[in-house]
Amino acid sequence: MFGLSRRAAAVAASMAIAAAVFAGCGENVKGDRADLVHGKQLFVERCGSCHTLSRAGTRGTVGPSLDDAFAQAIDDGLARDTVAGVVHEQILNPRISSKMPADLVTGQAATDVASYVANATAKGGEDTGALATAVRAAEQRAVTAEGGRLEIDADPNGQLLYLASRATAMPGTLEILSRNASGTPHDIALEAAAGGSQLGKGETVSNGGVSRVSVSLRPGTYTFYCTVDGHRDAGMQGTLTVR
């Protein structure tokens, strides 16, 4: 999770030394040495759960919005190659107070992510060409419990969504399973209604793990959601109707 604030970006823009420190990153932003498609895929999978970046379609709220962080500085003339250098430095050397883990991405992967962020931040519109299809959009659907089991899987690309936005089940004992193929940690929990008391929560899983929760339900409307910090706020929730 990048710790750069808008103020820090603006300071970088006002300091001539920043351009020298991060010189040589321009080729990465232009794509000569960086794979922007790979960078977008990695960003969505490993960074999007914490950061909002409009062109990447991510809505994380734990860390700063990467659109807001650089918008003013770019308007003031900060070059995108310098943005790539700033982001690259944040990735390789997270602040001690930052929640971003060390070695989130390294080597060429770090260059690819930093270059994609620099290319996408504070831009209107949508990605085009190969970048437009770099990450498959999650297709949410309605699901129905069968035999007392209900499967509500997390998006395998790491986006903050379940593959189901609505579910139905019969009254009685219900086991809810949520498989998470991505490296982004998720769980699944259930509450009586939006903002109501929690009825149960599965363990937090990633990389193919399955979060499971068993509950006994009466007819009514319930909300399933991810309890990992910031994930529900970013949209990782849905409605379960028991009838």
Q: Is the dihedral of CA 225, 212, 140, 142 positive or negative?
A: negative
Give one DSSP letter per residue of 135-166, joined into a string. Answer: SPPP--EEEE-BTTEEE-PBPTT--S-BSEEE
Angle, helices 80-92/107-120, rounded to nearest 10 degrees: 140
Q: What is the pLDDT of residue 159?
A: 84
Q: What is the pLDDT of residue 3?
A: 58
Q: What is the pLDDT of residue 18?
A: 35
Q: What is the pLDDT of residue 26?
A: 37
Domains annotated for the chain, with CATH where assigned, are: 6-133 (1.10.760.10), 141-242 (2.60.40.420)
Q: What is the pLDDT of residue 2?
A: 64
Q: What is the pLDDT of residue 194?
A: 66
Q: Which residues of the chain have pLDDT under 50?
A: 5-31
Q: What is the pLDDT of residue 186?
A: 95
